[in-house]
Structure 1
């Protein structure tokens, strides 16, 4: 089997619990014969781009195997699909904060980051897929609203790396504090050197430029997401 097709099947199993040629074909809206051809010839560029949109895997990773599998803005596998069975010593407790981020008009910021609970993750999984600078900087928050659909949905639980606060160095989705409210927005660097803040939802897409006049606090970068939908 071609290595790119093997990577595609690995990603489909890990991220969507989908196995087999026919199931992957249905997921990508391709014919089974097309996917079968990929097994011998390799995943096409258009197929890799479609997998990037549907699965969240990087097209370049699918084709070349280089870099990270995902960009971090995808739905995480359920615990039973983690690459290694966690043990008591392998588990890391990540705090769940009372503060939440808005994918819409903004949520009021609480006076402090109250911890309302925690979720346990395998350190092996964290180091393999998240690769934070410091595991102790990871936090969970809830997200509300529709402005980041289809990347995230209302009610998703987001894993945030509070140690990653420089959008100029690492473009992605960030938790921002502005005028006493928190927002979840995509931040990227323009060719002008200014930071662009936008929503992913094409029906309500808004774009703003941070030119230094805004008093914006970057609270962390979203590195993964869990949701309550059955995948």
Structure 2
């Protein structure tokens, strides 16, 4: 007989946004309270005694959640298990995190979320998505240098649409520029544009959507290349 899943019968979670910290107990308490639940109800949902969650959060007993309980709570509240105390799994050859089923996690960033010069900061990444090793290898890029960005706006239509996910190879920023689509920063604004270098060494920066302006003869020193777009995923 299959084990009954108590979470499935608890009711729909509202997925209220909360600010996560490095403390799994504080994170769980926020998730419970912000979603209008209580400690005893969540304990019973997990098949535990009514004081289980309160003792874990308030008294530190148990020291960490049972692995199955942690997985169910993360699934129920729609958060990563690491926020509830799961250890970060990493590829032994790289610094790229991996999922329990062996997928490499590529960090995700919203295009409009970045400001200031230089590369993208780690705290600008809020989520991640898993990809197969062989699939990533076919791209010819090191997974440790990849990130996912959601396109904001329609300036690259029809090639890239608003909300499309693009995969960016940040190692391209340290190599000689070749024609292609890049994520770049100009005047503290993060953009996705088609870039080409002319014979004079100056850049042509263009939008695929003819309703948006192009920039010709742009000094390479005025542009901060973040990375080259190597893949896109589109919602249907």
Q: Normalization by structure 2: what TM-score?
A: 0.51
Which stretches in structure 2 are left out of the alignment for 5+ residues?
A: 1-99
CA separation of 1:154 and 1:126: change in aligned 2, threshold 3 A: same
| Equivalent residue number for residue 100 of structure 1 | 111
Determine whether 1:123 maps to 2:133: yes
| Equivalent residue number for residue 112 of structure 1 | 121
8 Å contact 2:182–2:227 — kept in the other structure? Answer: yes
Which stretches in structure 1 are left out of the alignment for 5+ residues?
A: 1-86, 102-106
Determine whether 1:88 maps to 2:101: yes
Q: Distance in 2 between matches of 1:221 and 1:178?
A: 15
More RCO (CA 8 Å, sep 6+): 1
Between Structure 1 and Structure 2, whose CA radius of gyration is higher?
A: 2
CA separation of 1:167 and 1:200: change in aligned 2, threshold 3 A: farther
Give the strand-richer structure, 1 or 2: 1
- Cα deviations across residues 125-163 of structure 1 (Å, max 9, x unaligned)? 1112x111x210100111111111110001111111111
SS of aligned partner of 1:164: helix
CA separation of 1:141 and 1:213: change in aligned 2, threshold 3 A: closer
Q: Distance in 2 between matches of 1:136 and 1:112?
A: 14
Q: Distance in 2 between matches of 1:200 and 1:178?
A: 18
SS of aligned partner of 1:196: strand
SS of aligned partner of 1:136: helix
Q: 1:201 aligns with which of 206, 209, 213?
A: 209
SS of aligned partner of 1:165: helix
User: How well do the aligned residues superpose, as a CA RMSD in angstroms?
Assistant: 2.5
Q: Distance in 1 between matches of 2:176 and 2:144?
A: 23
